[in-house]
């Protein structure tokens, strides 16, 4: 088994890549690690990646999840936040744990069920935060799982919105789920978070949304 260690400081997201890992070993590792852990695992036909998020990574992930929840609330949409749930497909020999994932359009199809990604629809939206490690490997897994929308944060570009179109992820200016939300808008509210607490950011977002939906003045 080949191991690649990507070095980083303790304040940065760390990840290790193993080659030649069987599906059975991957499943055993998931079982042994359990649910009470901060690490994320991704598996793609023998390649296993273990990601250990930094504090900044987790802060941004949770703020983006709050933003998604607030958007659905303001727009009167249903939502189920599945967080970093393990999304496994043995038939594809692929599995991943997004930083966050959500059912929105398909929430009615999974309510009251134990999620089985082999037979249930995939999440409608996944979020990936890239501070020092790239989520590109996981994009290939999401493509096979057919997740229709992915938000990817990087320090250089902020949030880039991707939509699955014709078998590949294409950058798009606006979210397919939230048509008024662009990467530029999300970046604006993430910048507010540099000096404001999370609740203040969400209140600002709600006020902004209400101006977008307000009828024009007479």
CATH of the domain at 168: 3.90.1570.10
Q: Is 49 part of a structural domain of the chain?
A: no
The total of structural domains in the chain comes to: 1
Q: Is 48 part of a structural domain of the chain?
A: no
What are the pLDDT digits (tens) for 26-74?
999 999 988 777 788 999 999 999 988 888 889 999 999 999 999 999 9
Q: Is 87 part of a structural domain of the chain?
A: yes
Using alpha carbons, list the distances in angstroms from residue 72 to 109, 197, 203, 205, 208: 17, 21, 14, 12, 14
Q: Is 82 part of a structural domain of the chain?
A: yes
What are the pLDDT digits (tens) for 106-133?
999 999 989 999 999 999 999 999 876 6
Q: Is 31 part of a structural domain of the chain?
A: no
State which residues form the domain around 138. Answer: 54-213
pTM for this structure?
A: 0.89
| Residue 161, φ and ψ in degrees, nearest 5 | -100, 130
Token digits for 201? 């950011």
Q: Is 24 part of a structural domain of the chain?
A: no
Q: Is 194 part of a structural domain of the chain?
A: yes
């Amino acid at each position: 088994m080949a191991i690649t260690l990507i070095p980083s400081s303790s304040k940065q997201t760390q990840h290790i890549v193993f080659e030649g890992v069987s599906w059975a070993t991957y499943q055993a590792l998931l079982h042994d690690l359990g649910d009470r852990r901060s690490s994320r695992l991704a598996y793609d036909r023998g390649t296993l990646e273990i990601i250990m998020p930094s504090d900044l990574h987790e802060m941004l992930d949770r703020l983006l999840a709050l933003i998604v929840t607030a958007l659905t609330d303001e727009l009167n949409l249903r939502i189920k936040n599945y967080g970093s749930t393990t999304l496994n497909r043995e038939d594809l020999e692929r599995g991943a744990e997004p930083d966050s994932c959500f059912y929105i359009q398909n929430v009615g199809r999974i309510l009251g069920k134990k999620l089985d990604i082999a037979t249930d629809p995939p999440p409608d939206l996944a979020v990936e935060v890239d501070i020092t490690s790239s989520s590109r490997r996981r994009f290939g897994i999401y493509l096979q799982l057919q997740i229709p929308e992915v938000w990817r944060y990087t320090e250089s570009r902020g949030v880039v919105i991707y939509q699955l179109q014709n078998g590949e992820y294409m950058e798009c200016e606006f979210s397919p789920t939230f048509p008024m939300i662009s990467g530029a808008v999300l970046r604006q509210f993430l910048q507010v978070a540099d000096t404001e607490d999370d609740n203040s950011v969400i209140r600002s977002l709600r006020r902004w949304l209400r101006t977008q939906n307000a009828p024009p003045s007479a």
